[in-house]
Amino acid sequence: MRFSRTQLGILIFTVLYTVAFAVFYIHELNAEFIGYVGVIVFIFTLLYSTLDKTRIPTFILAGLSLWGLMHMMGGSIQTEDGVLYAWRMYPFFDGGGELYILKFDQFVHGYLYAVVALLFLHLLRNYFGNQHSQILVGFISLVSALGVGALNEIIEFIAVLTVPDDGVGGYFNLALDIVFNFAGALLGISGYYLFLGFRRPSAER
């Protein structure tokens, strides 16, 4: 399969930072993020091995690559609040303990599921075209993204059960993750239709 120059650039960038962080996390014996390295490898292997059929736009590939970088940075870079994922970016709301908005972890969740929702929207629009209700297509994209989010929370629950001193967090962290997953997915889909409208899927490729 041949990749465009942009697709190849995104892939090389992703491979380079993934290898670098894999070495770091293996050196630190961080089993949780060694597992996440494997998740990133699986995701990009799946995406790039099916590009000839899915024709995923480069902005979605780039968006997922940027998420992977932020995710790897989140568990390694130290801030005054702990690792980057614990960084309290801005005090929109402070209910004490984990009930704090906005943290880097929440920002990444919102960002990721906006991109994931756009991925599902692209796949569904290329399958259905404009022959079906775009409200229905958008809704299916939204709940599909939330399904991926639920799978991610299951993976994090497995980490809680198997990895000592994991940084997953408790109930409020879980609930806030779900809220930001939903908000990000909804904003991604709404933004797509607001700015790009209902143009034919072939123009997205």
Tell me how many helices (H) and strands (E) the chain has: 7, 4
Q: Which two tokens stand for residue 48?
A: 């790039």
Q: Are 181 and 149 in contact (CB under 8 A)?
A: yes
Distance CA 61, CA 50 (A): 12
Structure confidence by residue, pLDDT tens digits, 81-126: 889 999 999 999 998 888 899 999 999 999 999 999 999 999 998 8
- This prediction's pTM: 0.89
Structure confidence by residue, pLDDT tens digits, 168-198: 667 788 899 999 999 999 999 999 999 877 6
Nearest by Cα to 75 from 67, 64, 85: 85
